[in-house]
């Protein structure tokens, strides 16, 4: 075995040991402490029935607030305690704040900093005059959150049909916003500023946000908050304690009228935190630990004194849904093939959705997925194969093409189930679309 490979194995094993909960409990916890009050989520649930503050940390108990759940539903998101995720919490908290501050009006112009392709961008096109979004769009984040084609392909990433003229996405550095002073009625950013570099660089971005915000407007910002004494920043992520974060906000010029942040930590989620990176997909996703750092999300309403920003009542709007419908027909002359043999498929697809199928990129493209079942129609492999479409398909259009796939590696009778999917979003069958089965005998 080469020394370099051995070193990699030792490093991997050492990393898993160091990041384990057992290591933390034995060597770090005795010297650590949580910087915020720890309470039972049951206590918070009762309080949330009466109301919810805007300036606060992520708490799953917020689900018990009727106003908060109303915004969740309006954003077309479904959430309960079992699948709670702080990213969804951030989005709800931002919109709730825009509503409460009367900035969510038909005359408002808003800016998203570190916009990515978040659902909020598309939702807001139904609520305000114009939505601008900026990001570096370098394609470095997991899940395609900042894919390079987003500025020119905003429609591809839309969660529902939207008025396209109201949304403009630009490749731009958050430390140098290329907009005039006092341009936007409100600005929002969801878990972005912690990626901007040092505290000096974060402050610079905050000053830029303050500069382009109209007097009387507000910035709704969520970011990472360090919860423990021994915590530190993570590679490429600046995780600050509360007092340092607030100091940056105020130094940038913002006024925080509600200084009574609710920083209480729910004991149930502190005792069962998400250990990164191993448990990144586990839910409920409320409190996280990365080696020596315990963190969660915090939301703040940062106001700019004055009276120029557009304020008033929002308009009621009905947001339509995408219709995930497509006809699938697959045939093959190869009914019996050898293990791992080549199978030639003739495929016909018809787009009967209400949106164009895009075949480029990865996230949100439309592909034809193949699920593998045994003869009893028991699922063996959900992601057996994926076929990328040779081109996009407009609504009402039919595409016929050939593809070559590799047969299963084991002998037996198999069923290949063909199902359209929007990559990293949804299988069409989950929306009621019919799949297509093709039987294959492997000898």
Question: What phi, psi does 288 have (nearest 5°)?
Answer: -120, 155
Q: Is residue 184 part of a domain?
A: yes
DSSP string over 396-414 = T-EEEEEEEEEPPSS-EEE
Both 127 and 191 in a single domain? yes
Q: Is residue 8 part of a domain?
A: no
Both 343 and 241 in a single domain? no
**What value, to the nearest 5°, has the Cα angle with vertex 140 and ends 19 and 427?**
90
Average pLDDT over residues 47-56: 96
Q: Is residue 13 part of a domain?
A: no
CA distance 223 to 202: 11
Which runs of E-coded beta strand occur in 191-238? 213-226
| Number of structural domains the chain divides into | 2
Both 204 and 268 in a single domain? yes
Both 119 and 252 in a single domain? yes
**pLDDT band per the 50, 70, 90 thresholds, residue 317:** confident
28: left (phi over 0), alpha (psi -120 to 50) or beta: alpha
Average pLDDT over residues 333-341: 91
pLDDT above 50: residue 271 = yes
**Strand (E) or helix (H) holding 93:** helix 86-100
406: left (phi over 0), alpha (psi -120 to 50) or beta: beta
**Strand (E) or helix (H) holding 365:** none
The model's pTM is 0.88
Residue tagged 């949330």 (tokens): 48
Looking at residue 1, its pLDDT comes to 42
Q: Is residue 94 part of a domain?
A: yes
Looking at residue 10, its pLDDT comes to 47
pLDDT above 90: residue 124 = yes
Q: Is residue 199 part of a domain?
A: yes
Q: Is residue 271 part of a domain?
A: yes
Looking at residue 36, its pLDDT comes to 95
pLDDT above 70: residue 274 = yes
What is the CATH classification number for the domain harbouring 422? 2.60.40.10
Both 418 and 297 in a single domain? no
Both 199 and 290 in a single domain? yes
CB burial readout 264-299, b (16+ within 10 A) else e? bbbebbbeebbbeeeeeeeebbbbbbbbbbbbbbbb
Both 226 and 264 in a single domain? yes
**What value, to the nearest 5°, has the Cα angle with vertex 257 and ends 303 and 190?**
50
Q: Is residue 285 part of a domain?
A: yes
Domain limits for position 153: 20-303
Looking at residue 16, its pLDDT comes to 58
Give per-residue pLDDT as tens, 8-45.
444 444 455 567 888 888 888 888 999 999 999 999 99
Average pLDDT over residues 335-358: 95
Both 296 and 408 in a single domain? no
Both 61 and 184 in a single domain? yes
Both 48 and 84 in a single domain? yes
Share above pLDDT 90 across residues of the chain, in percent, rounded to a whole number: 84
Give per-residue pLDDT as tens, 430-440.
999 999 999 99
Contact 239, 292 (CB under 8 A): no
Longest dimension (CA), the chain: 77
Looking at residue 6, its pLDDT comes to 52
**pLDDT band per the 50, 70, 90 thresholds, residue 359:** very high
Cα-to-chain-centroid distance, residue 31: 34
Looking at residue 17, its pLDDT comes to 58
Looking at residue 2, its pLDDT comes to 45
Give per-residue pLDDT as tens, 232-258.
989 899 999 999 999 999 999 999 987
Question: What phi, psi does 310 have (nearest 5°)?
Answer: -70, 125
Give the chain's mean pLDDT: 93
Both 295 and 383 in a single domain? no
What is the CATH classification number for the domain harbouring 68? 3.40.50.150
CA distance 309 to 301: 15
Q: Is residue 14 part of a domain?
A: no
Both 56 and 166 in a single domain? yes
């Amino acid at each position: 075995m080469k020394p370099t490979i051995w070193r990699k194995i030792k490093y991997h094993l050492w990393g898993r040991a160091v990041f384990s909960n057992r290591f933390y409990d034995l060597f770090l916890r005795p010297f650590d402490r949580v910087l915020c009050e720890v309470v039972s989520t049951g206590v918070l649930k009762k309080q949330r029935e009466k109301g919810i503050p805007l300036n606060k940390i992520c708490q799953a108990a917020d689900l018990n607030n009727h106003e908060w759940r109303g915004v969740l539903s309006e954003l077309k998101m479904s959430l309960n305690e079992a699948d709670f995720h702080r990213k969804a919490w951030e989005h709800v908290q931002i919109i709730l704040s825009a509503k409460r501050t009367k900035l969510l009006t038909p005359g408002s112009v808003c800016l998203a900093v570190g916009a990515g392709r978040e659902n909020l961008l598309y939702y807001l096109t139904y609520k305000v005059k114009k939505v601008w979004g900026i990001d570096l769009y370098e394609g470095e984040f997991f899940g395609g959150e900042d894919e390079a084609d987003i500025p020119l392909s905003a429609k591809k990433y839309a969660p529902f049909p939207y008025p396209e003229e109201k949304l403009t996405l630009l490749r731009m550095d958050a430390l140098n916003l290329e907009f005039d002073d006092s341009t936007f009625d409100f600005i929002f950013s969801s878990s972005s500023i912690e990626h901007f570099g040092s505290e000096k660089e974060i402050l610079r971005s905050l000053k830029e946000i303050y500069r382009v915000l109209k007097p009387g407007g507000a910035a709704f910002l969520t970011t990472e908050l360090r919860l423990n004494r021994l915590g530190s920043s993570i590679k490429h992520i600046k995780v600050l304690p509360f007092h340092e974060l607030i100091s940056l906000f105020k130094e940038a010029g913002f006024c925080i009228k509600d200084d009574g942040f609710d920083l209480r930590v729910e004991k149930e989620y502190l005792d069962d935190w998400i250990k990164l990176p191993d448990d990144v997909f586990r839910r409920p996703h409320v409190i996280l630990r990365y080696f020596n750092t315990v963190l969660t999300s915090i939301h703040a309403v940062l106001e700019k004194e004055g009276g120029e920003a557009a304020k008033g009542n929002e308009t009621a709007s009905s947001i339509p849904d995408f219709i995930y419908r497509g006809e699938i027909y697959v045939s093959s002359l190869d009914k019996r093939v050898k293990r791992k043999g080549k199978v030639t498929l003739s495929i016909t697809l018809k787009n009967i959705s209400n949106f164009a199928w895009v075949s480029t990129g990865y996230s949100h493209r439309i592909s034809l997925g193949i699920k593998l079942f045994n003869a009893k129609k028991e699922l063996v492999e959900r992601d057996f194969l994926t076929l990328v479409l040779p081109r996009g398909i407009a609504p009402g259009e039919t595409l016929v093409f050939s593809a070559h796939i590799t047969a299963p590696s084991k002998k037996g009778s198999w069923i290949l189930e063909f199902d359209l999917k929007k990559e990293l979003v949804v299988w069409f069958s989950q929306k009621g679309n019919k799949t297509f089965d093709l039987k294959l005998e492997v000898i």
